Amino acid sequence: MNLFWKLFASFGIAMAVTLAGTVYVSFRIADQAFDQLNFQGRQPIIQEAAEALAAGGEHGLRFWLLRNPFPTPGMALLVIDERGNELLGRPPPRHVVKLLRKEAFRQGRRPSNVRPAQPTPEIVGPDGKVYSLVFARMPVTFLGMWTWPGTQLAVLTIALIAAALTSLLLARYLSSPIGRLQKATRALAAGALDTRVGPPVSKRRDEAGRLARDFDTMAERLQALVTDKEVLLRDVSHEFRSPLARIQVALALAQRRAGDAAQGDLARIQRETEQLNELVGQVMTLTRLRTETEPRQVPVVLPDLVDQVVADARFEHPHTDIRFTRTQVPAVLGDPAGLKSAIENVLRNALSHAGAEKPVTVVVDATPKDVTVHVLDEGPGVPADATERIFEPFFRLDESRDHQSDGQGIGLAIAARVMELHGGSATARNRAEGGLEVALTVPIERPQNDQRS
User: Read out DSSP for 238-256?
Assistant: HHHHHHHHHHHHHHHHHHH
- Total of domains in the chain: 3
CB-based burial of residue 430 (10 Å sphere; 0-12 exposed, 13-18 middle, 19+ buried)?
A: middle
Residues 124 and 61 in one domain: yes
pLDDT for position 200: 83
Closest CA to 97 of 78, 116, 125, 72: 78
Q: Domain range for residue 230?
A: 207-289
Cβ within 8 Å of residue 366, ≥6 positions away: 329, 330, 372, 444
Please give the Cα distance from 218 to 211 (Å, whole number): 10
Look at residues 259, 289, 319 and tell me which one is the last residue of a structural domain. 289
Please give the Cα distance from 407 to 345 (Å, whole number): 11
In degrees rounded to 5, what are phi and psi of residue 329?
-135, 160
User: At 176, is the pLDDT very low, low, confident or very high (cuts 50, 70, 90)?
Assistant: confident
Residues 278 and 308 in one domain: no
pLDDT tens track for 275-326:
777 777 667 777 666 666 667 788 888 899 999 999 999 998 888 889 988 8
- Across the chain, mean pLDDT equals 76
Look at residues 289, 319, 349 and tell me which one is the last residue of a structural domain. 289
Residues 327 and 433 in one domain: yes
Please give the Cα distance from 168 to 274 (Å, whole number): 66
Tell whether pTM > 0.75. no
pLDDT tens track for 195-248:
888 888 888 887 788 888 898 899 888 888 877 776 776 667 666 767 777 887
Please give the Cα distance from 340 to 418 (Å, whole number): 10
Residues 250 and 298 in one domain: no
Please give the Cα distance from 72 to 367 (Å, whole number): 77
Please give the Cα distance from 155 to 212 (Å, whole number): 41
CATH number at residue 78: 3.30.450.160
pLDDT tens track for 87-120:
888 877 666 666 666 554 444 555 666 655 566 7
Residues 312 and 345 in one domain: yes
CB-based burial of residue 53 (10 Å sphere; 0-12 exposed, 13-18 middle, 19+ buried)?
A: buried
Three-class SS of residue 109?
A: coil
pLDDT tens track for 431-447:
888 889 999 999 987 65
Residues 9 and 151 in one domain: yes
Residues 223 and 89 in one domain: no
